[in-house]
Amino acid sequence: MNACHIYRMASWCLAMQPVALIRHLSSHAGNMVGFPHRFQKALASVVEAPWLFATSEDFRYPATEGKRPFGIRLLQGYTQRVCRLTATNPFVTQSFYEVLNMLKPPTALFHPRILLPALLARQRDSVVATSSQSPASHLV
């Protein structure tokens, strides 16, 4: 994933915030008691998955400051395997680009037609990866 896709996700998150506000206001018309708290919870659900997906890549670099979220290495490894599958699997490619363009949520990358090949590829490639991995392979 490159910076362009990450900024696209950030832009999408920014664009969806007013949409969430309008929806939340219309569904709670007249009831403003506790509105800020309810809206913040609703807003968090809009941005949580894209934000995690976009920012998890920062933690590939040791110089990145901050607490690494639980399971970040698993998510990064899975994302890397999905990226590799895009070269050979049209369903994975289509789904990956739909997620990058925010047409589908990041959870679409855990569809069984993606999850199973990614997990199986990991087992097959682990022997090859230890001997043939290039220094820049983490960027793929």
- Residue 128 three-state SS: helix
What pLDDT, on the 0 to 100 scale, is given for residue 42? 83
| Helix/strand/coil percent split, the chain, to 5 | 75, 0, 25
pLDDT tens, position by position, for the chain (140 residues)?
Answer: 555 666 676 777 777 788 888 888 888 777 778 888 888 888 888 788 777 777 777 888 888 888 888 888 888 889 899 999 999 999 999 999 998 877 888 889 999 999 999 999 855 554 444 444 444 445 44
Q: In angstroms, rounded to a whole number, what is the distance separating the alpha carbons of residues 47 and 57?
A: 16
What pLDDT, on the 0 to 100 scale, is given for residue 135? 45
- This model's pTM is above 0.85: no
